[in-house]
Chain A
Amino acid sequence: EVQLVESGGGLVQPGRSLKLSCAASGFTFSNYYMAWVRQAPKKGLEWVATISTSGSRTYYPDSVKGRFTISRDNAKSSLYLQMNSLKSEDTATYYCARPEGTGNNWFAYWGQGTLVTVSS
């Protein structure tokens, strides 16, 4: 059974940093692209980052480019999101998601999410 378990969320002040983790199990982690998707309170969903199987390619929307960094450790079946220079508008539940296969595909599996609150 595919499982994605996020951790690392919490309350952080504007301008500070936070690193999220996602522990994956139930599939061969190194064979799949991985992604982060967020959802602000009572709002819609926003794609945040995608990483290739080896980690050599990463993709971001303009809203987080230059502030967020996605990475992975295939030996540990783990995905990460380093978030710097956080803003109040980054407040959201952050989901780890697994696209189907490689490339720009649908999100077949999602974690339960970890809440990040950016506030002074």
Chain B
Amino acid sequence: DIQMTQSPPVLSASVGDRVTLSCKASQNINKNLDWYQQKHGEAPKLLIYYTNNLQTGIPSRFSGSGSGTDYTLTISSLQPEDVATYFCLQHSSRYTFGAGTKLELK
């Protein structure tokens, strides 16, 4: 089974900061990597699919990159409404979620 490791587990940043979240797969997942945002008490919401494709309606400050085993979600200018937990998901072989990064305001 493919394992997904997200880092850091918790990230504190200020409004306006550029924020980078990481996700590492235990083997090559050929860009089959997505990012989800989950706010407290809500269902997950798709942000980025297939590494770098922005889902319709998602602000352009969110972007994704990566290849092979290493992937990144970047928020170019952090906004208060971005406080949430972010999960990565590999769908190269079945499905495996990362454990999440909790993004807080400093």
Contacts and interface: CB of A to CB of B under 8 A. Distances in A.
A95 interface: yes
A9 to B, nearest CB: 14
A46 B46 contact: no
Given A45-B44, A100-B49, A113-B43, A107 B89 contact: yes
Nearest to B99: A44
Interface string A37-66: 100000011110010000000010100000
A92 to B, nearest CB: 13
Q: By DSSP majority rule, is chain B's interface helix, strand, loop, or mixed?
A: loop
Contact of A108 (B55, B97, B98): B55
Given A44-B87, A95-B43, A112-B43, A106 B50 contact: yes
A120 interface: no
Size band of the interface chain A makes with B: 20 to 34
A111 interface: yes
Interface of A: 35, 37, 44-47, 50, 59, 61, 95, 99-100, 104-113
Interface of B: 32, 34, 36, 42-46, 49-50, 55, 87, 89, 91-100
B44 A106 contact: no
Contacts of A110: 43-45
A26 to B, nearest CB: 14
6 contacts: A45-B36, A100-B49, A104-B91, A106-B46, A107-B36, A107-B89
A79 to B, nearest CB: 15
